[in-house]
Amino acid sequence: DCVASVARADMSVIGVWKDDIRIDQAAVKAYAAGEIKPAGGGTVYKKLDIKADVTDLCPTICMSYEGGKLSIDNKNCNHCMHCINMMPQALRPGTEGGATLLLGSHAPILEGAQMSWVIVPFMAMESPYDEFTELIGNIHEWWSENGKNRERVGELMLRLGMRNFFKGVGLPPVPQTVRTPRANPFFFWHAEDFEAEAAGRKYIK
């Protein structure tokens, strides 16, 4: 499943949606009133405390429940699925589906067990999957050129760094690839970034 792949696979492809979570407010009220059992009846609780069991447990605190109405700040949702699992009849994933790509897990000999990193937060999976296959080829080429004997791709990413990885495979860095994007005050730039910016700069005389 999704969680196991993050720990066991060199590369994980996890289904995800891009648009907003669909909310059925009538079903939300039914859960709050105890008319529908939480988690599809898979718990011992007969009535769901939406604030304590759902909104307060949201990892990005993007949900609120006030006046019997559930609201979600979808821009800050990290798709952990907890709220949907607790209220499957009230909440459903969005309709714009695709995949999140993660890379680098396994338990290699040199570095020990490690988890995957998000490298592409969302990629539309549409036949013939040219974007996906091109990325796989770029990753394989980068690993073949830079990897040592018996070195897995996750170890190579640790050794050379994520900046070199993204530059090598042609991926733009995004906030979802940073462990704590809201707490890191540092910005790193490549020399060509300054050159491109300076070339387009208009000087006022």
pLDDT score recorded for residue 184:
64
Reported as half-sphere exposure (CB side, CA atoms, 13 A), residue 133 has a value of 5
pLDDT given at position 143: 96
Q: What's the CA gap between 130 and 84, in Å, rounded? A: 31
More confidently predicted of 111 and 33: 33
Q: Top-level CATH class of 20-92?
A: alpha beta
138-181 pLDDT, tens digit per residue, is 999 999 999 998 888 999 998 999 889 999 999 998 887 877 66
SS3 assignment, position 151? coil
Whether the predicted pLDDT of 3 surpasses 80: no
Counts for the chain of helices (H) and strands (E), in that order: 8, 7
Please report the pLDDT score of residue 194 as a whole number. Answer: 75
147-154: list long-range contacts, CB under 8 Å, 24+ apart. 150/109, 150/110, 151/108, 151/110, 152/10, 152/104, 152/106, 152/108, 153/10, 153/11, 153/103, 153/104, 154/10, 154/103, 154/104, 154/105, 154/106, 154/108, 154/111, 154/114, 154/116
Q: Give phi and psi for 57, each to the nearest 5.
A: -100, 5
Percentage of the chain exceeding pLDDT 90: 58
- Which two three-digit tokens encode residue 92? 């459903």
pLDDT band at 199 (very low <50, low <70, confident <90, very high): confident
pLDDT tens for 25-70 read: 999 999 999 999 998 887 777 789 999 999 999 999 999 999 999 9
- What per-residue confidence (pLDDT) applies to 30? 94
CATH number 3.40.50.300 is the correct assignment for the domain at 4-13+97-196: no
N-to-C CA span, the chain: 61
Domain ranges of the chain: 4-13+97-196, 20-92
